[in-house]
């Protein structure tokens, strides 16, 4: 059995300490220890009260997530909670550190809660596709009211100790030794007559909520907007509704258990827990051990203060790391720094940041037009024009001013990092740090190792990702790395499908319905259709040589329909709106283009649209694994979810592929190869091998 609970009696107090490193989840051994400890304390006449705390940095991080979906041993958590509920001796939770999920629910089952100021409490189950299934949906509304409870449970976000006290979740915030504070609190309760305050018996707060159905209507409205396609939020709302309207605690618990079981058995739960573990897995690099020395990054240099350079600078400023940003001339520098300031000012207008905080962040930013000023930076990231010659020249200049040991990084989205490294005499310090736009918001950081990048540079870059509150995924150095390499087939297929019979709106709707934040044509409108069109014009591509999938976009550009920036592209955007409306003229233009190309249009089913857009991602993903560009399938999942908006509830493209059945996918790919040509639809050898061996991508996780 995993984990334990230490039991000791100090005078008239039984002290129980949960010990299951590193974060004390409620594994089987912990549940057994809780049950045994409570029994022992209740049986011991010397003991008048019980104090429950955690060893190390956590109180209890919740249920043991790795146990879900399998057989669990020992007593259930509900057995433990029933023992606590029935205790005639007061139980005080001394919340020393993280109390999440089932951990907070255990604390809510205690009769009193003393909390350390730095201890975060939260009910993050919704993020795992679950709900607080150990009484959280029933006890919390009784304590803080349905509205606040719903907000807290549906956000899944933690709050620190003092806020927990203000909200009514904790009785006391205690500085210093939390165990001593817990014991002192317990002694006080004993001295005052050992009142046992069970939250399950409180009714006054929920009675007030009973006449207010608006609370639930609002929660449903917000959940539909913020958690599109999620299963758990509605279940959570139903449980809290039951707490308020059913009134009887045990009947409410029954509703909670039924809803919890539905969540547990829902495919979203498995997918979201896959993501939880994958996010931790991607930090593990087989040939770069955890104890690899890392450099301290105290100052950053950024070359280029356009959209990417500005966003990258903000990522550093946001975590208090000073930045020197370089532009070629003063006016570009002023413009770029002005945009950064404006972005922060918008945060102030929205009430998300104080003016003082903006001043502080801006005070950490220094602008320059002189490369020498980058000499004090521990990492220099270039974010110049995406052209290998320009990048190589930039790396020569970077190396001439960078201090010894500084990391020299490129924000390229797919160019050869080794070519840049070769332009310097310190290729071991060169690495790709591919931020995604807007860089100050997007969570993904693709870290690209060149053939000579040192382990220290890799380990430092992965750690830097965490410091910047990003999720860093390591990629090998090959065109397009992981993310952009996979994207090619997706956008090409979307372009072909509209020429064969679908409209751009059908394609977008299918992908929106799948859960993508936007479809490929909405994405094109956002990025700007003119980028490719201008590049083709500049390099003198003849109209007949334009790829057929770019023909419609080029025609739109000839009409100055560049996308959102000109209020017209594939969609029409009413002034000031980012919600595009379909345009029959575009449909006509697409049909005319098909006719010009001699393509007979036909009805294309939504199912075919989805498969033809997504299967190229899977097929290329298999190649990326085979080439060793991504370490594991889960690395690809994390890239796609955090960089490209692939719906979290699917678990990412490779996890989703396993669920569809790789044999089904391969059969469709072969069918598409027959219909549309081998070149685009050649099955990846790894996909064929896995199907032949009856295996899936998960079997490669190791
Ligand atoms: C629940 O409670 C349901 C109940 O309502 C109902 C039950 C009936 N289980 O994140 P870290 C592992 S649902 C198993 O790197 P940090 C993690 O995988 C649960 N393992 O550390 C990692 O392993 P490895 C609700 C867990 O300091 C190691 O611990 N609770 C669990 O950055 C260190 O984790 C949650 O959703 C777990 N519950 O962050 C909380 N938690 O080293 C989930 C962690 O092998 N956990 N591990 O890669 C967290 O949010 C963070 O881990 C935490 C620590 C903030 C606690």
CB 94 within 8 A of CB 179: yes
CB 17 within 8 A of CB 54: yes
Ligand 1 within 6 A of CB of 145: no
CB atoms near residue 204 (< 10 Å): 7
Residues 558 and 628 in one domain: no
Nearest CA residue ID for atom 24, ligand 1: 280
Nearest CA residue ID for atom 11, ligand 1: 280
* Known catalytic membership, residue 558: no
How many angstroms does the Cα of residue 62 sit away from the middle of ligand 1?
7
| Residue 323 belongs to a domain | yes
**End of a domain among 567, 596, 625?**
596
* Known catalytic membership, residue 386: no
Q: In testing the pocket of ligand 1, which one of 23, 123, 130 has its CB within 8 Å of the most ligand atoms? A: 23
Residues 456 and 540 in one domain: no
pLDDT score for 578: 83
| Residue 37 belongs to a domain | yes
Residues 443 and 591 in one domain: no
Q: What are the start-end ranges of the H helices in 375-454?
A: 388-401, 417-422
How many angstroms does the Cα of residue 183 sit away from the middle of ligand 1?
27
How many angstroms does the Cα of residue 44 sit away from the middle of ligand 1?
34
Ligand 1 within 6 A of CB of 102: yes
How many angstroms does the Cα of residue 23 sit away from the middle of ligand 1?
7
Q: Which residues sit opposite 288 in a β-bridge?
A: 285
Domain that holds residue 589: 502-596
Q: In testing the pocket of ligand 1, which one of 18, 61, 125, 132 has its CB within 8 Å of the most ligand atoms? A: 61
pLDDT score for 501: 97
Q: In testing the pocket of ligand 1, which one of 59, 65, 239 has its CB within 8 Å of the most ligand atoms? A: 65
Angle of helix 551-558 versus helix 530-538 axis, rounded to 10: 90
CATH code for the domain in which residue 118 is found: 3.90.226.10
Ligand 1 within 6 A of CB of 81: no
How many angstroms does the Cα of residue 100 sit away from the middle of ligand 1?
8
Nearest CA residue ID for atom 40, ligand 1: 61
Residues 185 and 38 in one domain: yes
pLDDT score for 677: 80
Position in ligand 1 atom list of the atom nearest CA 132: 5
How many angstroms does the Cα of residue 101 sit away from the middle of ligand 1?
9
Residues 260 and 352 in one domain: no
Q: Of 19, 83, 87, nearest to 49 (Cα)?
A: 87
pLDDT score for 126: 98
Ligand 1 within 6 A of CB of 125: yes
Count each helix (H run) and each strand (E run) in the chain, helices first.
30, 19
Ligand 1 within 6 A of CB of 466: no
Ligand 1 within 6 A of CB of 599: no
**End of a domain among 248, 265, 282?**
265
Q: Which residues sit opposite 630 in a β-bridge?
A: 475
Residues 252 and 348 in one domain: no
Please, what is the Cα angle at 608 between 604 and 613, to 5 degrees?
115
**End of a domain among 573, 596, 619?**
596
Q: Of 58, 62, 54, 141, nearest to 104 (Cα)?
A: 62
Nearest CA residue ID for atom 9, ligand 1: 64
How many angstroms does the Cα of residue 423 sit away from the middle of ligand 1?
44
Q: Of 694, 685, 631, nearest to 658 (Cα)?
A: 694
CATH code for the domain in which residue 510 is found: 1.10.1040.50
For the segment 27-68, what is each residue's pLDDT rounded down to a tens digit?
A: 999 999 999 999 999 999 999 999 999 999 999 999 999 998
How many angstroms does the Cα of residue 85 sit away from the middle of ligand 1?
25
CB 97 within 8 A of CB 63: no
Q: Which residues sit opposite 51 in a β-bridge?
A: 15, 92
Position in ligand 1 atom list of the atom nearest CA 276: 18
CA distance linking residue 62 with residue 99, whole number of Å: 7
Residues 517 and 588 in one domain: yes
Q: For residue 96, give the 3-state DSSP assignment.
A: coil
Residues 572 and 616 in one domain: no
Distances 44 to 13, 87, 198, 515 between C-alpha atoms, Å? 10, 13, 22, 56
| Residue 485 belongs to a domain | no
Ligand 1 within 6 A of CB of 100: yes
Report residues of the chain scoring pLDDT below 50. Answer: none
CB atoms near residue 518 (< 10 Å): 16
Per this entry, what is the length of the chain?
702
Ligand 1 within 6 A of CB of 130: yes
pLDDT score for 73: 87
pLDDT score for 163: 97
| Residue 489 belongs to a domain | no
Residues 685 and 615 in one domain: yes
Ligand 1 within 6 A of CB of 105: yes
| Residue 487 belongs to a domain | no
CB 537 within 8 A of CB 558: no
pLDDT score for 288: 97
CB atoms near residue 484 (< 10 Å): 17
Position in ligand 1 atom list of the atom nearest CA 120: 55
φ and ψ at residue 583, rounded to 5 degrees: -130, 115
* Residue among 8, 67, 105, 175 flagged as catalytic: 105
Nearest CA residue ID for atom 43, ligand 1: 61
| Residue 271 belongs to a domain | no
Ligand 1 within 6 A of CB of 643: no
Residues 203 and 304 in one domain: no
CA atoms within 13 A on the CB side of 478: 16
* Residue among 8, 125, 327, 591 flagged as catalytic: 125
Q: Please tell me the pTM assigned to this model.
A: 0.94
Residues 6 or more apart whose Cβ sits within 8 Å of residue 442: 435, 436, 470, 642, 643
- What is the tally of structural domains in the chain? 4
CA distance linking residue 495 with residue 505, whole number of Å: 12
Ligand 1 within 6 A of CB of 378: no
CB atoms near residue 303 (< 10 Å): 25
Sign of the alpha-carbon dihedral angle for 661, 667, 673, 675: negative
| Residue 530 belongs to a domain | yes
Residues 142 and 225 in one domain: yes
CA distance linking residue 572 with residue 559, whole number of Å: 13
Tell me 697's DSSP state.
G
Please tell me whether the peptide bond between 541 and the residue prior to it is cis, using omega within 30 degrees of 0. Answer: no
| Residue 290 belongs to a domain | no
Sign of the alpha-carbon dihedral angle for 386, 392, 397, 403: positive
- Label each residue of 82-95 as H, E or C: HHHHCCCCCEEEEE
How many angstroms does the Cα of residue 61 sit away from the middle of ligand 1?
6
Residues 592 and 624 in one domain: no
How many angstroms does the Cα of residue 519 sit away from the middle of ligand 1?
34
pLDDT score for 575: 85
């Amino acid at each position: 059995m995993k984990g334990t609970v230490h039991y000791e009696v100090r005078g008239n107090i039984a002290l129980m300490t949960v010990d299951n490193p590193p974060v004390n989840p409620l594994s089987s051994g912990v549940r057994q220890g809780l049950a045994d400890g409570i029994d022992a304390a209740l049986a011991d006449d010397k003991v008048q009260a019980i104090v429950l705390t955690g060893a190390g940095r956590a109180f209890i991080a919740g249920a043991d997530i790795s146990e879900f979906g399998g057989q669990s041993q020992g007593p259930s958590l509900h057995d433990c909670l029933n023992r606590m509920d029935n205790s005639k001796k007061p139980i005080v939770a001394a919340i020393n550190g993280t109390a999440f999920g089932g951990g907070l629910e255990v604390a809510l089952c205690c009769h009193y809660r003393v909390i350390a100021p730095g201890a975060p409490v939260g009910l993050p189950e919704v993020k795992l596709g679950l709900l607080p299934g150990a009484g959280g949906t029933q006890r919390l509304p009784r304590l803080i009211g349905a509205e606040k409870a719903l907000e807290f449970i549906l956000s899944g976000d933690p709050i620190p100790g003092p806020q927990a006290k203000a909200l009514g979740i904790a009785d006391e915030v205690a500085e210093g030794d939390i165990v001593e504070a817990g014991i002192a609190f317990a002694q006080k309760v004993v001295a005052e007559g050992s009142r046992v305050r069970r939250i399950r018996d409180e009714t006054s707060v929920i009675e007030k909520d009973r006449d207010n159905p608006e609370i639930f209507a609002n929660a449903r409205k917000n959940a539909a907007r913020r958690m599109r396609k999620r299963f758990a939020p509605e279940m959570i709302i139903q449980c809290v509704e039951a707490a308020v309207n059913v009134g009887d605690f045990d009947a409410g618990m029954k509703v909670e258990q039924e809803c919890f079981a539905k969540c547990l058995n829902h495919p979203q739960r498995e997918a979201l827990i896959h993501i939880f573990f994958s996010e931790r897995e991607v930090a593990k690099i087989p040939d770069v051990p955890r104890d690899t020395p890392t450099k301290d990054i105290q100052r950053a240099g950024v070359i280029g203060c356009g959209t990417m350079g500005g966003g990258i600078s903000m990522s550093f400023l946001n975590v208090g790391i000073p930045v020197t940003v370089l532009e070629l001339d003063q006016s570009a520098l002023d413009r770029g720094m002005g945009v950064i300031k404006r972005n922060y000012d918008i945060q102030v207008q929205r009430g998300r940041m104080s003016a003082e905080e903006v001043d502080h962040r801006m005070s950490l930013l220094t602008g320059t037009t002189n490369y020498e000023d980058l000499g004090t930076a521990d990492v220099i990231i270039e974010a110049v024009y995406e052209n290998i010659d320009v990048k190589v020249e930039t790396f020569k200049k970077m190396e001439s001013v960078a201090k010894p040991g500084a990391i020299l990084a490129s924000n390229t989205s797919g160019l050869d990092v080794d070519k840049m490294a070769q332009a310097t005499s310190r290729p071991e310090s060169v690495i790709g740090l591919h931020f995604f736009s807007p860089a100050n918001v997007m969570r993904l950081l693709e870290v690209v190792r060149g053939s000579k990048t040192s382990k220290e540079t890799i380990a430092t870059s992965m750690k830097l990702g965490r410091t910047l509150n990003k999720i860093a995924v390591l990629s090998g150095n090959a065109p397009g790395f992981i993310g952009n390499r996979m994207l090619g087939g997706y956008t090409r297929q979307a372009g072909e499908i509209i020429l064969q019979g679908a409209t751009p709106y059908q394609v977008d709707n299918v992908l929106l319905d799948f859960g993508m934040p936007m479809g490929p044509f909405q994405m094109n409108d956002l990025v700007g259709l003119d980028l490719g069109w201008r590049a083709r014009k500049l390099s003198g591509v003849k109209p007949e040589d334009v790829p057929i999938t770019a023909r419609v976009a080029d025609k739109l550009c000839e009409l100055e329909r560049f996308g959102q920036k000109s209020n017209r592209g594939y969609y029409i955007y009413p002034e000031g709106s980012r919600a595009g409306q379909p345009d029959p003229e575009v449909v006509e233009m697409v049909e005319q283009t098909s006719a010009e190309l001699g393509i007979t249009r036909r009805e294309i089913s939504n199912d075919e649209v989805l498969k033809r857009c997504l299967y190229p991602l899977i097929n290329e993903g298999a190649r990326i694994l085979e080439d060793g560009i991504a370490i594991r399938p889960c690395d690809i999942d994390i890239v796609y979810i955090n960089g490209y908006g692939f719906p979290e509830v699917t678990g990412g493209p490779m996890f989703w592929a396993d669920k569809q059945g790789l044999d089904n996918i391969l059969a469709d790919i072969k069918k598409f190869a027959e219909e549309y040509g081998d070149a685009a639809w050649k099955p990846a050898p790894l996909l064929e091998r896995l199907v032949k061996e009856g295996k899936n991508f998960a079997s490669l996780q190791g």
